[in-house]
Structure formats: C-alpha cells, structure tokens
Structure 1
C-alpha cells in the first residue's frame, strides 16, 4: 500500500445503518484507512464492537448528530456500502465514495444515484460493462478494484474443515448452505416457499447451514422464530441469523442453495456447485436477474430440492465451465489485493482535494 501522511482517523468516515450484511463490504478497507465507522443503529454498533473489535465505531442516535460529529472532526471523505449520500451530500468540502452493494444482478446496483459520488468502486468486468451500458461511467468516477470482502478467500486463508469444526459440525459430511435473500416487493426470495424443506426430511448424511438475509429477521420475525425451533431439533443443522460475515459459512460448505441474493455471485469464488430455488416459473423472471442460474440446477418444487442437491454433489463439475466463465467476469484481479486498491484510491481522492 502506498505511503501517505493523512491523519486518517479524522479524515475518513464510514456510514452504515441497520444493514448488518454491509459491514464486511467495508471492514477490510477500514482496517487500512483508519477512521470512524458511524451508525445510528444500536444493533450495528454492538455487532461491530463484538465481531470487529479493532475497528473504531461510534453510535449516535440521529443523522443530525452524526453530521455534527463529522464536521467537528474535519472529515474529508465518507465511504458508504449503500446509497446513503442523501444524508450528507450537502456537507461542504467532503468527498463521497460508494462501495458496491454486493456483486449481484439486481437493478438496485445500477441506478443513477452512483453519479452523485466522487468515486464508486466496481467489483468486476461484468458490472463495469453494465454500468457502461447504462451510461453511469460518463463522469469517470467508476473504478475497477475487485472485491475486498473476498480477499482472504483469494489469499487461501480459509479452511473448510476448520470452519466446520468451529461450528460443531462433522467435516466428513457434505455441507449445504442455504442463503435466501429477503422477501422484498419484487418477490425475489425463496424463503417463504422453500424454508420448510430445511426442517423436514433432511438427509442424515448432510450438514445444513442456514443463513437468512438479515431483513428476514427484521420483517418476518414470527416465521423465523418458528423456523428456528424446528431447525435446531436436528443435530446436523446450524442457523446463523445475526452474524454479518457470510464468508466463513461459504468456506465451510460444499454446495450453495440460493435464489438471486448477492451471496450467489460471491460463492463463485469457491468454484463449488449451486442449486437455485425459484418461487415462480422461470419465464416470469428477468433474464438479467437470473443469469447466474446457468451455473446450476433450478428447482421450482419443494419435493425436488434434495434430489437436485444429491445430483449436484455427485457431479460437482457438471456446471464448472459456466462457473469459471462467470468467475472471470465477476471478480477483477482475484489476487487478494482489492482492499488495498480501494484504500489507495481513497487516499488519492483526499490528496487530490487538498
């Protein structure tokens, strides 16, 4: 990483709301830049203090108080893992950086609001071409850096068996990770239709890890409470509701069951098989949103899930050509250095404004 003389503890700020899943998108960058992570969510504050104890996090209960503190500490750059510039864009002499909201194919990533940022990071060529096609690179503020959240994967720092043993699961068994997105207005999630598959007739020769989107616990608490009671009756299952970091869960698994969540793109880094769950006929899906479904079997009926899992585990290379192709276009320079490139770009932005 380049040398710099910036007092980064005061110069750089991060803002995260209640969306716990966004913490790993900026944590590795923040380790290198220093600075304060601001939040107006007590849960986010507690989570960062517990799971990222060396990061500097500050809880203030209103956006107004956060703004005042940023001004008093002479913040020069605010980094966001989501579209929250609207709270701070009127603050004078402050630059704004956006870290992508996961490498998925949802329209949410590719909206005109990215043009309001002085710099926004792009994880790979696929996303770059989509930004370009939608004329979102016209200001020259989009920058290919790779995917910081997965740097440790590309550096080979995670071990499957070790992660399973930490969870108290048998590493000799194949392990399935089910990670649905939340049940939003677009009805993207498989959770409502398929969740009971993972508490009924689970094959005895498998471990099952379930990682629901944090918004499922936020907006569907009753369903999740019922699911938890049933799931935890089985000794070979684990439920991770609140941990923001999904990377160790992916590393521990041999197959991902997903839908259109960003974790499906992230799982490409492991080059392991997929099974995709569709809560409606595929013809009703946007082709752009489901392009990754070419990397595995697509299941539309609950009773067919475990059959598809068995076939995919028996022949893990069946879709490997497609997985390799998507891997190459999803991740720019998968060398473990994306966070460093992001840090250097942030420091350059500060230096250029001085």
Structure 2
C-alpha cells in the first residue's frame, strides 16, 4: 500500500513520524521549518518540498499525486479536497481547546483517528460521528513516551543539566491563552536556582511574534542561567518530558501528554477572573474546557505562589495522582505505546474497503448490468 503524507505544521510532523514507521511513504510539505526538522530528525525519510509555497502549487500537486491513501494532521483544503483516494485525518493534538471536533476539520476526510474517549465524546456532541467514519486508536505521537523509549540521562548531558537536581519543564501554549506572553520571565524566575529548568515555547509563539519583547528577555535570561535550557522551535518536546520531574503548564495540550508519565503538573492560570480580555482570547476561553485538567495539580496565578507550589509538589509527587490517572485514561485510549500500530490497521482497512468498492463498481459497469436496452 502506497501512503502519501502531507504536513505543514511542526507538531503535525511529530505525530506523523511514528505512523511513517508503520506505513512508509513520502512526506510532502510546503513549510520550510517542517522540511528542516524532518531532515534533521529523520534524514532517511523521503521528503518533498512544494516550492514556491503557494496555494496553486499545492492544488496542482494534489491533483497529480497517485497513492492508495493520503494522510495528514490538519485540514488543508487545497490538498485534501483535491487528491484522488482515501483521506485520513490523524489530529496532531488532544487539547481541551476543542478545535478538533469541528466540521471544517473533518469535511475532506474519509477516516478520522481519535486519541481517546474524550475526543470521541466531543465528536458525538458535535454530531460528527454521523458524518465521517471515526476510529479510536490512541495518541500516535505519545507512543514513545508511553513506552519509555527516551534516555533522560542523555537529554540532561546534552543540555548540561545537573543529573542530581530536580528538573522542571515549562511548556506554555500560544495566543492569548499563553501564560508566557505576560508572565514568562516571572514563571522562570520562580523555579529555584539550584534546580534544572527547561523551556519549550510553542512554535506559533515564535512564528506569529505574539510577544517579541518577552521572547528576547526570556531567551537572554535562560541563556545566563546555570542549569537552564531553551529548546529549539522544531524539537520534539517528549524527550524533555521524559527527563522532567514536574511540569509547569497553562492551557496547552502538552499538559495532557505529560499525564502519560503520571508526574506532577502545576498550572499557571492568568485568565480566570481577569477582566478586559480581547475578543479572540475570550472566544478561546469560552470554547475550551480545562476544569478537569486543572484538577490534576495545583493552580497558581503568581510567581510567589508558583515557587511555593513547586517545592510542595516536589516533596509530595503522589498528590493529585488519582485525578491525573483518571484524566489520562479519559484522554488517551490504551496508552500502551501501540497507537501507531492500531492506526496503521485502521488505515489499511479503509484503503482495502475503498479499493474493493472501486473494483466492484468497475466490474459492475463493465458487465453492463443495470443497463436497459430499448
């Protein structure tokens, strides 16, 4: 079976790579950062860049590609609305933001692969289970994290961290939901100086220039901090998760992925009860639901609170453990490291059924069955 992949977003690349190990095939992209990251992370992967990165170029490519199945992690209409063959959507995130369960993200696809029961419930509430075929397979990107494939000691050596000190990972989301834009430096400075501190900013925080002054100040501060590391924009965050003893998050889907490790999470909430939110941020807050997630650890809204909470959860890592595990099992179907295998089976089944359907239709037409002669 010839699978063809299309990706124009960095988090989507990290979702597709495990699936490429199960269903090999060429990867197409019109994004320079995706291309650079793929060449660095998976140099043997067949990669093709659409150039120039224009809508008409992607549309022309889609019309001429031939494959048994086309796979992506976002709804790119100029590609998936024009390819000829089964189309599979395997969403790159599992976030409480609620973006996935929308008709515009499913309308071009024959199969949607869902991460777990919560996503299936969201699709049911949105009435999408009646409009598109869905299968719950688990979170493909989280397979290696769930299996424990990453070498934490090697990560700490590579980033010159103290092997014996607690390691804190800070991974904020993007847009107005991000704690980084106004509080990034305050959060970083709350981490005890003798601890390791690792930060991974959302790619869109950098690309969209949400907070350029904060990015400059944060980068300068962490560069001067002993036992500090700011990960590159195209890095997979999961090796850092594996090395982290605890995590600081906000409304990012990375908080939910960290649940796979059953380690303490703290949430910096700068939005609840805040007046004067801009229209876009207010719409995002109203759309999402973080109430269950924020029960998985302490919620703080200042650097002083955060420092005290960090010290407390480091000393009592089992607190909130029951809620973390309940949330993990709600978000992730069978977090056993085999989601990519289940996804490959579901995709092969779809491709086989559609191939048989087309073949049967051709036989029917060739036989002249159903044709009435006058």
Q: In the alignment, is the contact (CA less than 8 A) between 2:190 and 2:306 conserved in 1?
A: no
SS at match of 1:181: coil
Deviating more after overlay: 283-292 vs 192-201: 283-292
Partner of 1:210: 199
Answer yes or no: is 1:93 the counterpart of 2:84.
yes
**Cα deviation, residue 282, structure 1:** 5.3
1:294 aligns with 2:283: no
Please report the RMSD computed on the Cα atoms of aligned residues, expressed in angstroms. Answer: 2.0
1:112 to 80, 99, 103: 103
Shift of 1:92: 5.7
Call closer, same or farther: CA 1:41–1:115 in 2, change over 3 Å.
Answer: closer
* Alignment correspondent of 2:352: 351
Tell me the residue number matched to 1:333.
334
- What is the alpha-carbon distance in structure 2 between the residues aligned to residue 204 and residue 46 of structure 1? 34
Structure 2 match to 1:243: 234
The alignment status of 1:225 with 2:224, answered yes or no, reads no
Kept after mapping to 2: 8 A contact 1:13/1:70: no
5+ residue gaps, structure 2: 276-284, 356-374
**Per-residue deviation, 1:21:** 1.9
2:187 and 2:303 in contact (8 A); partners too? no
Deviation at 1:199, TM superposition (A): 4.8
Structure 1 stretches (4+) deviating beyond 6 angstroms?
Answer: none
1:43 aligns to what? 33
More off after superposition, 301-310 vs 285-294:
285-294
In the other structure, the counterpart of 2:182 is 193
Equivalent in the alignment of 2:358: none
Query: Once the 2 structures are TM-superposed, how far is the Cα of residue 328 of structure 1 from its aligned partner?
Result: 1.2
1:158 to 150, 155, 180: 150
Q: What secondary structure is seen at the aligned counterpart in 2 of 1:108?
A: coil
In structure 2, the partner of 1:124 is 116
1:239-279, Cα deviation, whole Å (9 max, x unpaired): 01323411101001011100111101100000000110111
Give the drift of 1:51.
1.3
Query: How big is each residue's C-alpha offset from its partner over 1:34-90, in whole Å with a ceiling of 9 and x where there is no partner?
Result: 222111112221111111212211111234334434444413322111121x11344
The answer to whether the aligner puts 1:142 opposite 2:127 as a matched pair is: no
Equivalent position SS for 2:298: strand
- TM-superposition CA deviations, 1:94-151 (whole Å, max 9, x none): 2211112311111212111244110001111121112112211113511100111111
Given that 2:174 and 2:204 are in contact with CA atoms closer than 8 Å, whether structure 1 keeps it comes out as yes
2:170/2:249 contact within 8 Å kept: yes
Q: Does 1:58 align with 2:48?
A: yes
Give the CA deviation at 1:198.
4.5
* Residue of structure 1 equivalent to 2:254: 263
Task: State the partner residue of 1:3.
Answer: none
TM-score (norm 1): 0.90
Residue 238 (structure 1) shift: 0.1
Distance 1:324 1:281, change over 3 A: same
Structure index of larger Rg? 2
